[in-house]
């Protein structure tokens, strides 16, 4: 047994089971994130909120604490018991999800979003650190893509159940039920997940001090690697539409297509998630083959570089299609293409550093994703929607969502530059 109390897994079956538990944790993570987006209309009306306030709740209130906590947690993940960190994170966000049902105004709702953000910040760095040890070498791209596919499953599950339960029991009881389900996941992970040994490394780049100064120095050195900043920003921009869809997609369908609350999750969830899951899996398989043939991980970026521009016209179809079935078809194609960046980008990032920096590196990627996709995107759409209401009324949200059309094109360009500048991996 090593210094942090982690013992080696005995077989590939253990690795697969660990991946399955991480899949479940991230699925719950994204399911809980999707809840507010589905019931945003009844909450907005009951608590008298503007679209800008909704953007703050879904963006900065969640993302700021998600980001700040994520940086500290990443350092903890690189040195602490990753299973324990995961259990504590799932427990915190599940409790905060249940407490959402007790909120009565903008500020109390913002507080629960902040706590959810802190709890959910544990999953990504812990998972990427574990996966890099469970699936070394070329297998990491495929494992990372399977893990990332859980976000789509979570969004679909959360969206469908939130709509049905929200219409049947009310939005408050719906949040409380999801929080209780998270407690069961906490017990499953705590009682059945085997600990995973770390890859032991030595050398001048292995950090010895856990202080804030060393953490910032480590992050600066990671960002300074050739091409990494382009990779991180490109990854963040590639997620902008994916992040905004769960926040504003259900409200858009309710306002512009008159979809009922009990149906909205079932309508938008399956095409969005099936597209995203298939995109994750297919892109991971293709990227792994390209990497094997090319002999380096940066070769896998060609997959999102080609796929992301195709997402832009599909997104336009979703926004401006004359009928609901055509709009939902646009969602499926759009998410398939957008999901192509998730596995290849993160797998490349963590492959550029030694094992002791994997969680910090994944968190730097998460910072870019959080700031651009989850914080800026929803808030920008909310502000534009409020500004356009005097002119377009309920259709203002449609045109606000259109501000994101350029994001996949810019992301593809940034990843192309990253691929040219990264010299290792």
Domain boundaries, the chain: 12-195+211-421
Dist. CA 317–CA 320, nearest whole Å: 5
Give the rounded percent of residues in the chain with a pLDDT score beyond 90: 44
Closest alpha carbon to 350 in 111, 88, 148, 85: 148
Confidence of residue 8 (pLDDT cuts 50, 70, 90): very low
Cα dihedral sign, 32-141-351-336: negative
Ramachandran bin of 183, using left for φ above 0, alpha for ψ from -120 to 50, beta for the remaining angles? alpha
Whether 106 and 49 have beta carbons less than 8 Å apart is answered as: yes
Q: For the segment 190-225, what is each residue's pLDDT rounded down to a tens digit? A: 999 887 777 655 444 444 444 556 777 888 899 999
What local confidence, expressed as pLDDT, does residue 2 receive?
42
Cα angle value 244/246/249 (rounded, 5°):
80
Cα dihedral sign, 149-153-159-162: negative
The conformation of residue 121, written as its DSSP 8-state character, comes to T
Query: What are the residues whose beta carbons fall under 8 Å from the beta carbon of 234, sequence distance 6 or more?
Result: 341, 345, 411, 412, 413, 414, 415, 417, 418
Q: For domain 12-195+211-421, which architecture applies?
A: Up-down Bundle (1.20)
The conformation of residue 251, written as its DSSP 8-state character, comes to H
Closest alpha carbon to 181 in 343, 14, 10, 29: 29
Give the rounded percent of residues in the chain with a pLDDT score beyond 70: 93
Residue 348 has pLDDT above 90, yes or no: no
Which secondary structure element, helix H or strand E, spans residue 382, and what is its range?
helix 377-392
Q: For the segment 100-153, what is each residue's pLDDT rounded down to a tens digit? A: 999 999 999 999 988 988 888 888 888 888 888 888 766 777 788 788 778 778
Whether 223 and 368 have beta carbons less than 8 Å apart is answered as: no
110 or 34, greater pLDDT: 110
Average pLDDT for residues 405-409, to the nearest whole number?
A: 95
DSSP 3-state of 88: helix
Dist. CA 398–CA 77, nearest whole Å: 41
Q: For the segment 326-344, what is each residue's pLDDT rounded down to a tens digit? A: 999 999 999 999 988 877 8
Whether 380 and 241 have beta carbons less than 8 Å apart is answered as: no
Distances (CA, A) of 68 to 12, 72, 280, 290, 416: 35, 7, 27, 35, 29
Half-sphere exposure of 401 (CA within 13 A, CB side): 27
Most confidently modeled range among 90-104, 212-226, 270-284: 90-104
107 exposed, middle or buried (CB, 10 Å; 0-12, 13-18, 19+)? exposed
352 or 407, greater pLDDT: 407
Average pLDDT for residues 62-79, to the nearest whole number?
A: 78
Average pLDDT for residues 235-262, to the nearest whole number?
A: 91
Cα dihedral sign, 177-182-183-184: positive
pTM beyond 0.95: the answer is no
What local confidence, expressed as pLDDT, does residue 203 receive?
46
Helix spans in 135-260 (H): 139-169, 171-192, 212-223, 228-238, 240-256
Closest alpha carbon to 269 in 77, 83, 37: 37
Dist. CA 391–CA 382, nearest whole Å: 15
As a 3-state breakdown, the chain gives helix, strand, coil percent values, each rounded to 5, of: 85, 0, 15
DSSP 3-state of 422: coil
Dist. CA 234–CA 212, nearest whole Å: 27
Average pLDDT, the chain: 86
Confidence of residue 177 (pLDDT cuts 50, 70, 90): very high
Query: What are the residues whose beta carbons fall under 8 Å from the beta carbon of 366, sequence distance 6 or more?
Result: 67, 70, 124, 125
Cα of 409 vs its chain's centroid, Å:
20
Half-sphere exposure of 320 (CA within 13 A, CB side): 10
């Amino acid at each position: 047994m090593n210094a942090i109390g982690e013992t080696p897994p005995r077989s590939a079956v253990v690795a697969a089971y660990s991946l399955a538990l991480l899949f479940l944790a991230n699925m719950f993570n994204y399911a809980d994130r999707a809840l507010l987006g589905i019931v945003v209309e009844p909450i907005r009306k009951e608590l008298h909120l503007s679209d800008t306030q909704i953007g703050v709740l879904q963006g900065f209130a969640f993302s700021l604490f998600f980001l700040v906590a994520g940086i500290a947690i990443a350092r903890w993940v690189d040195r602490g018991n990753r299973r324990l960190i995961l259990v504590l994170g799932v427990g915190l966000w599940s409790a905060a999800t249940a407490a959402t049902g007790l909120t009565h105004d903008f500020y109390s709702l913002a507080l629960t979003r902040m706590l959810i953000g802190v709890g959910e910040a544990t999953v990504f760095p812990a998972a990427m650190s574990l996966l890099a040890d469970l699936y070394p070498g070329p297998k990491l791209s495929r494992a990372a893509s399977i893990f990332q596919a859980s976000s789509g499953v979570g969004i679909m599950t959360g969206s469908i159940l939130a709509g049905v339960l929200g219409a049947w029991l009310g939005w408050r009881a719906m949040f409380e039920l999801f929080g209780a389900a998270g407690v069961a996941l906490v017990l499953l992970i705590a009682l059945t997940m085997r600990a995973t040994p770390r890859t032991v490394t030595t050398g001048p780049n292995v950090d010895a001090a856990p202080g804030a100064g060393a953490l910032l120095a480590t992050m600066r050195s990671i960002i300074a690697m050739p091409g990494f900043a382009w990779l991180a920003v490109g990854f963040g921009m590639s997620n902008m539409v994916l992040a905004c869809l769960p926040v504003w997609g259900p409200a858009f369908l309710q306002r512009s297509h008159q979809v009922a609350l009990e149906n909205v999750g079932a309508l938008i969830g399956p095409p969005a998630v099936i597209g995203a899951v298939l995109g994750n899996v297919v892109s991971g398989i293709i990227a792994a083959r390209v990497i094997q043939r090319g002999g380096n991980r940066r070769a896998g970026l060609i997959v999102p570089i080609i796929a992301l521009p195709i997402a832009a016209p599909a997104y336009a179809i979703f926004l401006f299609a004359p009928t609901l079935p055509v709009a939902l078809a646009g969602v499926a194609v759009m998410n398939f293409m957008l999901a192509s960046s998730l596995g290849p980008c993160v797998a490349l990032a963590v492959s550029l550093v030694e094992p002791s920096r994997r969680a910090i590196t994944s968190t730097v990627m998460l910072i870019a994703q959080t700031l651009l996709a989850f914080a800026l995107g929803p808030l920008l759409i909310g502000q534009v929607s409020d500004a356009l209401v005097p002119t377009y009324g309920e259709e203002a949200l449609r045109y606000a969502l259109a501000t994101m059309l350029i994001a996949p094109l810019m992301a593809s360009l940034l990843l192309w530059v990253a691929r040219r500048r990264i010299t290792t991996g």
